Each structure stands twice: as structure tokens, then as C-alpha cells.
């Protein structure tokens, strides 16, 4: 079961970019606290009207991709199996097990498929996603 993660209350539109004057408020969206995410497990979040799958990796880095499975159109990527292939963090679709690189979105098991990826950052313990960076 997926949950919608709410941004921490202390991150309103004024405080969100206080430490980042060069970044517009529209680009970065606070999603949740890093501690809200379990390592190697995905969660679904609704960010700026779009479903996003958010993954915390064992090294405490965070990756985010579209929650929409490119092969089926179903919104299930947050339920995928997190792993690695050739040193790259990956997620396998829970439906047909296509494996996607969490950094590039490239499908490593079926050419021609890709999942949109979003830049992430952690600011004062809060996970933020840049929705303008889908690749």
C-alpha cells in the first residue's frame, strides 16, 4: 500500500527557499523527512500533482522517478524491488520485472523503455524533489 507523504509543516512557500535564493520556489518541493523513508524501500508521493516514487538507498541518498510504470501505464513503481546492477542503484517494476537505473531512468532489461527521473536533495533533513528535471 502506498501513502501520500506530506511535507513538514515548517516548510511553507516562504521558508522553503530561504537558504537557496538562486532556486525558484516552483522547482524544489519538500516531500518528507529523510527519517520517514526506510532504506531500500519505495514510497509514493503526490508532488505538484504528479505521482512520484521516492527511494532511500542504504547510503542515505534519495532517488525519485515517476510512479508510472513505462511498460504498463500502471502507477506502481514505488512498490518495485530496489537493488543494484553493475554498481548502479536500480528498481525492478513489480509487474513485469523490467529493471530501471534510478539515476538515469534507462531500462536495463528492455531497450526502448525509460522512466522519468527527478533530481533530489536533502535540506536540513527534508527530502526535496525538483519536478522541473524529469528526464
Annotated domain spans of the chain: 41-133
pLDDT value of position 15: 39
Residues 87-116: tens digit of each pLDDT: 999 999 999 999 999 999 999 999 999 999
Q: 104 and 135 in contact (C-beta within 8 Å)? A: yes
Q: How far apart are CA 100 and CA 85, in angstroms?
A: 10
Q: How confident is the model at residue 133 (pLDDT cuts 50, 70, 90)?
A: confident
**Third-level CATH fold of 41-133:** Rieske Iron-sulfur Protein (2.102.10)
Q: Which residues pair with 72 in a beta bridge?
A: none
Give residue 9's pLDDT: 53
pLDDT at 25: 52
pLDDT per position as a tens digit, 116-129: 999 999 999 999 99
For residue 93 the three cell numbers come to 517494476
Query: What are the angstrom distances between the C-alpha of 130 and each of 14, 92, 97, 107, 134?
Result: 17, 23, 27, 22, 8
Cα torsion 125, 129, 133, 135 to 10°: value is: 100
Span 11-68, pLDDT tens digits: 444 334 444 444 445 589 999 999 999 999 999 999 999 999 999 999 999 999 999 9
Contact 33, 9 (CB under 8 A): no
Amino acid at each position: 500500500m502506498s501513502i501520500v507523504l506530506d511535507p513538514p509543516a515548517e516548510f511553507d512557500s516562504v521558508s522553503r527557499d530561504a537558504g537557496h535564493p538562486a532556486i525558484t520556489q516552483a522547482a524544489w518541493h519538500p516531500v518528507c523527512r529523510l527519517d520517514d523513508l526506510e532504506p531500500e524501500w519505495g514510497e509514493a508521493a503526490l508532488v505538484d500533482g504528479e505521482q512520484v516514487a521516492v527511494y532511500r538507498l542504504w547510503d542515505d541518498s534519495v532517488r525519485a522517478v515517476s510512479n508510472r510504470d513505462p511498460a504498463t501505464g500502471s502507477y506502481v513503481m514505488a512498490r518495485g524491488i530496489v537493488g543494484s546492477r553493475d554498481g548502479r542503484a536500480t528498481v525492478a517494476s513489480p509487474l513485469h520485472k523490467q529493471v530501471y537505473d534510478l539515476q538515469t531512468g534507462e531500462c536495463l532489461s528492455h531497450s526502448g523503455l525509460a522512466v522519468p527521473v527527478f533530481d533530489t536533495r536533502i535540506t536540513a533533513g527534508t527530502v526535496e524533489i525538483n519536478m522541473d528535471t524529469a528526464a
